[in-house]
Structure 1
């Protein structure tokens, strides 16, 4: 009972810290205030520490890595995304990273903590099919690859949004204002100054230049992050095939989750191939990454909603 109460406190502290961190990160984008960014980093670090401790407590209690149900996998996914933000967000030029990743980690953990019923959040013994040393290798690699690729794909989504930004059209619209604050540069523009500035030719040139630089930066980081996640996805699928052969006597059975994992792998293989052989950059490359983003969520949660197949032990309804 004490362990459960401690976990409850840690998880809710983490969720609250992620929420505060997202506010600070977006406040930094709007105000270009380094103090707000520092507060965002501190809040995010607190959230990561709380999530880490809660997972370790459950690990010691269960005697295995806590990845046996939807709640535990979502918490591990949130932890992985948070860790990636810490690694990427330390660079001064990556002020946009926290503003993108913090809300994602918050929503993932919020769904696990507040969206799932309590009976799905309780720790249980592993079913016989999961009692294997392959659990840590396969499931952890899959979730780490999901976290990494999702972050890279979120950068691609941001890129597509920035491409639609036109500084000369309706500057005071919420979308254009939000995107203008994402663009690199330390100047702060109020609603009136933005509107008035559009009469200035040099302002338009400056904004378009900043927009192009930011698109290139998003494309660069999206590719780098996805390039890290793709090998992890390959290792995860391969180790799962070996585990399946040991457990069920077949490397591949075209189970719904296996099928969607293969589709996801194929999409990001196309993403990497087209960048290398055809030189795809920017909008084309980002569109492929976004399709992979949707495929991952279908593979990870959508298939679980159906509750069918060999991976149905973690289904949600």
Structure 2
């Protein structure tokens, strides 16, 4: 009973904090960036991470197994994974911040887990024999981390396509614009100075195209970094799953629906990685492939749960016994 109460408290705390964080973040983007508020949003993200982590730990202690056995727990872990991706991006370059992507993703996944699923699906159940393995932690955690990184990278690619094919480029030329302030990471002043020195005698249209070019380059840069990280996690997760499948079912690969879609997801992002090696295919071509991958990931993640079929149908929406 104490663990149920603790989970309820931590869920409400994390959801409340992340709601405040996303409000502060969009205030900074749409109105005026205040250093104090930006620091508060970062602290809020950390507090949310510890709340979600505490929730997972309490379920781990109460259930006696790593909390990745059903859809609710995997969604909570996915929301935690978005924060991990957020921290990784900060470590790669302290000026860079993907909170425009990671913060809404965190609140969306946690909101769906707590409000979109039935109360019965929130309950922790005894693991079926196939899931009673040490591979559960390694395989599922790697897959969810890969989903988080790939989704972030794919969303950046979608933004790149929207910006590239938008006719009215005036939307992207204001220094206080949402997208520019989101992805230029405090470098607007530097870019303004560079623009004045490089385009001193050119037309105003060149100024606009310059900002648009800089923004698309920044989106493409971070999209590639996030997808590369996610593709690495995905490869590790699939390999761990193959070893686990051999132990549990006597076969490394059986073309189960979940395995098939995981292979399709891996293939899509392998093609994306290949296009990045060819300079003529970079930019919009590779972004288009990543955008397709965004939808493939959701099919891979939710497809089996919606259908409730196959060897990976644990935690399906129908709550049927497998």
Partner of 1:129: 130
Maintained 8 Å contact 2:29/2:177: no
In angstroms, what is the RMSD of aligned CA positions? 2.2
From the superposition, tell whether residues 288 and 141 of structure 1 become closer, same or farther in structure 2 (CA, over 3 Å).
same
CA distance in 1, matches of 2:208, 2:11: 41
* 238-247 vs 290-299, which moves further: 238-247
CA distance in 2, matches of 1:183, 1:132: 42
From the superposition, tell whether residues 161 and 277 of structure 1 become closer, same or farther in structure 2 (CA, over 3 Å).
closer
**Any idea what SS the aligned residue of 1:312 has?**
coil
CA distance in 2, matches of 1:164, 1:14: 38
Partner of 1:29: 29
Partner of 1:5: 5
Maintained 8 Å contact 1:25/1:37: yes
CA distance in 1, matches of 2:220, 2:241: 31
Partner of 2:213: 212
Partner of 2:226: 225
Give 1:278-317 correspondences, 5 Å limit. Answer: 279-317=280-318
| Residue 118, structure 1, aligned to residue 119, structure 2 | yes
Maintained 8 Å contact 2:146/2:233: yes
Maintained 8 Å contact 1:138/1:240: yes
* 103-112 vs 22-31, which moves further: 22-31
CA distance in 1, matches of 2:56, 2:304: 25
CA distance in 1, matches of 2:302, 2:238: 17
* 287-296 vs 29-38, which moves further: 29-38
**Any idea what SS the aligned residue of 2:311 has?**
coil
CA distance in 2, matches of 1:295, 1:237: 16
CA distance in 2, matches of 1:106, 1:286: 25
**Any idea what SS the aligned residue of 2:281 has?**
coil
CA distance in 1, matches of 2:314, 2:214: 46
Partner of 1:245: 246
Q: CA shift at 1:298, angstroms?
A: 0.3
From the superposition, tell whether residues 183 and 206 of structure 1 become closer, same or farther in structure 2 (CA, over 3 Å).
farther
Maintained 8 Å contact 1:51/1:75: yes
Unaligned runs of 5+ in 1: 188-200
From the superposition, tell whether residues 21 and 168 of structure 1 become closer, same or farther in structure 2 (CA, over 3 Å).
same
Partner of 2:40: 39
* 294-303 vs 258-267, which moves further: 294-303
TM-score by length of 1: 0.87
Maintained 8 Å contact 1:183/1:210: no
Partner of 1:72: 73
| Residue 94, structure 1, aligned to residue 104, structure 2 | no
User: Deviation string for 1:35-81 (max 9, x for gaps)?
Assistant: 23212112111111100111111112222210000000000011011
Partner of 1:18: 18
Maintained 8 Å contact 2:152/2:226: yes
Give 1:147-166 correspondences, 5 Å limit. Answer: 147-166=148-167
Unaligned runs of 5+ in 2: 190-201
Q: CA shift at 1:86, angstroms?
A: 2.7
